[in-house]
Each structure stands twice: as structure tokens, then as C-alpha cells.
Amino acid sequence: MTAIRVLDTAEAEARLGELADILVDAVAHGASVNFMAGFTRDEGRVFWRNQLSGLAAGDKHLFVADDGARLVATALLMDAPQPNAPHRAEVGKMLVLSTVRRQGLGRRLLAAVEDAARAAGRTLLMLDTESGSAGDRLYRACGWIEIGRVPGHAFRPEGRLAETTLFYKQL
């Protein structure tokens, strides 16, 4: 069975290529996750490398699904940096390789993130996703509450503007 776990900084650095592959796959399959079509593995490695300092500092936590041969999914839990928000965190880069979708990995990964946030004393999580996307449907099914929608918020990888839905979940 695929294990859901947290990567420490050293392992994340050692597995930058696998992390990049997941991100490249998401963009290539149309996910609106901040990057445009043509996004490369090298660019993916740069993105994940830039997350390492947050992992080392302990204000970011990288959750992965590991099938024993490779990493197949990711999620970042990012503590709010504001002094008046020690109870809050944001979820980002919730990605599942296209070849292993529809097997419950996203749901399991999200549950692990929520459990860890709760254990760390976080009582409010927030995230955003493209309206109508698979992520949108997952978050709703897992009890996340829609805050609102922003039309034309971000470009999809192919260059079309898309609406974003903002969500929260109280733990």
C-alpha cells in the first residue's frame, strides 16, 4: 500500500527529481498550480529546492505519498507567518500523479495534512483551487467550506483565465 508520510529536508533535497516529476505531470495535465504549459523538470526542481529552507525552518511541512518505488503525490502544509495567526495554516501543492489518480490518495493525503495540522495546534486551514477542478470536488467532499470565488484569478497552463475558489476548514 502507498504510504503517506512527511519528508524531512534532507530526503526532500535528495528526491527533488521525483518531486519535480509530480509537478510537471500536474501542469502537463492542465492543473492550475501557478505554472504555464512547457513547464520543465528543471523548473520543477527549482520550485522544490526553494521550499527547502521552509522545511528546514519548520514552517513548511511536505507530505508525500510513496508507493515504495517512487513518490506519487505531494501536499505542503505552510504555517501562517503572521504573529496574530499561530492557529492558522495553508495547504498547497496538493498534487497526485495522473497515473495513480482516482485511488483515494488525494483524500488520504489531505487527511494526513489535516491530522498533522490539528496535532500542531492549528485550528484553521485555508487553500485555493481552480473552480470546478478535481481538487475543488475533493475539498468539498472532505468537508471544506467555500469562502468565495474570484473570476479570472489565474491562468491555466494553456493560457486561459480561470476562476479560483477559496476554501477553509476548521479543525
Residue 62, pLDDT score: 98
User: Is the pLDDT score of 119 beyond 90?
Assistant: yes
Is residue 86 one of the residues assigned to a domain? yes
Provide, rounded to the nearest whole percent, the portion of the chain with pLDDT above 70: 100
Is residue 93 one of the residues assigned to a domain? yes
pLDDT average, residue stretch 31-40: 94
Tally of domains within the chain: 1
- Which DSSP letter does residue 150 get? E
Helix, coil or strand: residue 38: coil
- Domain range for 22 is 3-124
Is residue 33 one of the residues assigned to a domain? yes
pLDDT band at 34 (very low <50, low <70, confident <90, very high): very high
Residue 8, pLDDT score: 97
Q: What is the mean pLDDT of the chain?
A: 97
pLDDT average, residue stretch 21-42: 96
pLDDT band at 123 (very low <50, low <70, confident <90, very high): very high
Q: What pTM was computed for the model?
A: 0.96
Is residue 130 one of the residues assigned to a domain? no
Provide, rounded to the nearest whole percent, the portion of the chain with pLDDT above 90: 99
pLDDT average, residue stretch 132-138: 96
Q: What is the CATH number of the domain that holds 23?
A: 3.40.630.30
154/130 Cα distance (integer angstroms): 8
For residue 100, count CB atoms less than 10 angstroms from its CB and return exposed for 0-12, middle for 13-18, buried for 19 or more.
Answer: middle
The string of pLDDT tens digits covering residues 60-116 is 999 999 999 999 999 999 999 999 999 999 999 999 999 999 999 999 999 999 999
Residue 1, pLDDT score: 87
Is residue 92 one of the residues assigned to a domain? yes
Query: What distance lies between CA 60 and its chain's CA centroid?
Result: 11
The sheet with strand 60-66 has its strands ordered as 3-7, 60-66, 71-79, 88-96, 124-130, 161-170, 145-155
Is residue 131 one of the residues assigned to a domain? no
Residue with cell 503572521: 82
Is residue 133 one of the residues assigned to a domain? no
Residue 171 half-sphere exposure toward CB, CA atoms < 13 A: 21
Is residue 136 one of the residues assigned to a domain? no
